[in-house]
Structure 1
Amino acid sequence: MYQKLRYLILKHANRYGSLLSPALEALEHVRSEDGKILTKPFLDVCKTVLPILDKFGGAFSFVKSDIGGNIERLETQYDSDSLKYKFLHIMIQREVETKTERIQSSCTNSILWLSRSMDYTVQLFKNLQEHEDWSMKHVCRDSYDKTFKKWHNWLASSTFNVGLKLVPDRKSFMEAIGTGDLSSDIEKFCDSFSLVLAENHKVLASVNMDNRKI
């Protein structure tokens, strides 16, 4: 399934410019008419990040694996009753009602860690946009320090440090994610997705789940 998705995203990127183009298109459909975050479109946006992480090679395979696992868990719940779980935050609400939100395999926990992974991705692109003189390692390190670091234990931080040694150089990465008006795509992606992620964190904080660590 992922290989098919990857092919479609790359095909779209080749046609329209950067690998962020599919994400921008998906973000247009992430909210309902009354502004609620829709489950499937949100997951579709998150899926578009995976081919971007591919461009790091094996450097952040652990992040990609974590994202994929959380998407799969949330999709399974959504597919079990797409009407009931049409809105993403309903999953949190239902688990709070049944006192299951703190279980490791809960959808609430998946929304938390998926949102944090997306926070990292957004911060990475912000750093690329705002600090043209930074190396890719500097970009990745600063992004990690501002997002994941305070939630990770020693083992998770060590895994990141190993991956950091394998990141491609900045020029190669930028060329790999596409052409077109890349700067504009990055700005739109960061601005739009940040608002969605901030809402997720607000809901998670309201049920005392946004400060959870590994």
Structure 2
Amino acid sequence: MAVAIPPGGTFFDTMKRTFVDVPILAEKDNGIPTTEFLEAAESFTTVFDLLGSVAFTPVKNDLLGNVKKIRDRQLAAPAESETLQELVQNEQRIKKNTATEGLLWLTRGLDFTSQALRDNIANASNELSSSFRTAYGSTLKPHHNFMIKPIFSAAMSATPYRKDFYAKLGEDLAKAQAVLDACIAALEKLVGILKDFLATVGLKV
């Protein structure tokens, strides 16, 4: 899917919101605003379009499906869902786990993607396929069954060459990489907060 990058801009300028634009509310015990986070997560899935293979469609759809589960709960109980943490706590009170499980899997999927891109940024000689395989092994793979693993394996094998991927991020490679690095750094911080919080919920999925 081709995207129109503005002159002098980067691929991230085409997103409605990036993770850099998601505040962390210290006054709410590092609460993460639900609306802003879901908008950033939706926007971030367009990175898979840049990878240019239908093999990544199931990965993208999985992330978007989990976004929908969380947003459905937010729409059903907006006053109780201002932050992701509040949304989960209030859903737990009514003995439901749909959105909570959605957030758990969304967090895992974003952790996988951020670790893959972080590895690729940090290791200039690594191809994307290597970075994604390494990240998959330490994030999603332990939670996937024998039916899901081949789908993700196919996606790993379908990643483009490193140079081709970065060329799609913008004409100014240094600028594009700096923006990517900032986005991933913000996502890593958010994922860390969510992983610590979800560990206290005790879901067995």
Q: Calculate the TM-score normalised by the size of structure 2.
A: 0.86
Select between 116-125 and 77-86 the one with higher mean Cα deviation. 77-86
The aligned counterpart of 2:187 is: 193
Give the whole-Å Cα distance in 2 for the aligned partners of 1:204 and 1:113: 11
Q: Note if contact 1:27-1:42 (Cα within 8 Å) is conserved in structure 2.
A: no
Unaligned segments of structure 2, at least 5 residues = none
Q: Note if contact 1:126-1:186 (Cα within 8 Å) is conserved in structure 2.
A: no
The aligned counterpart of 2:103 is: 111
The aligned counterpart of 2:60 is: 64
Select between 179-188 and 50-59 the one with higher mean Cα deviation. 179-188
The aligned counterpart of 1:3 is: none
SS in 2 for 1:208: coil
The aligned counterpart of 2:201 is: 207
SS in 2 for 1:155: coil
Give the whole-Å Cα distance in 1 for the aligned partners of 2:96 and 2:191: 22
The aligned counterpart of 1:53 is: 48
Aligned residue pairs total: 199
| 2:157 aligned partner, one-letter code | K
Q: Deviations over 1:36-70 (max 9, x none)?
A: 21000000110111211111221211110111111
SS in 2 for 1:46: helix
Select between 196-205 and 90-99 the one with higher mean Cα deviation. 90-99
Q: Is structure 2 residue 24 aligned with structure 1 residue 31?
A: yes
The aligned counterpart of 1:14 is: 6
| 2:123 aligned partner, one-letter code | H
Give the whole-Å Cα distance in 2 for the aligned partners of 1:151 and 1:26: 25
Unaligned segments of structure 1, at least 5 residues = 1-5
The aligned counterpart of 2:79 is: 83
| Alpha-carbon distance change, 204 to 123 in structure 1, aligned in 2, over 3 angstroms | same
RMSD of aligned residue pairs (Cα, Å): 2.3
The Cα of 1:97 is off from its aligned counterpart by 1.8
Give the whole-Å Cα distance in 1 for the aligned partners of 2:139 and 2:161: 22
SS in 2 for 1:202: helix
Q: Deviations over 1:164-210 (max 9, x none)?
A: 2322222111112324412222221222111111111111111112x
The aligned counterpart of 1:41 is: 36
Q: Calculate the TM-score normalised by the size of structure 1.
A: 0.83
Q: Deviations over 1:108-138 (max 9, x none)?
A: 0000011111111111211121111112211
| 1:146 aligned partner, one-letter code | S
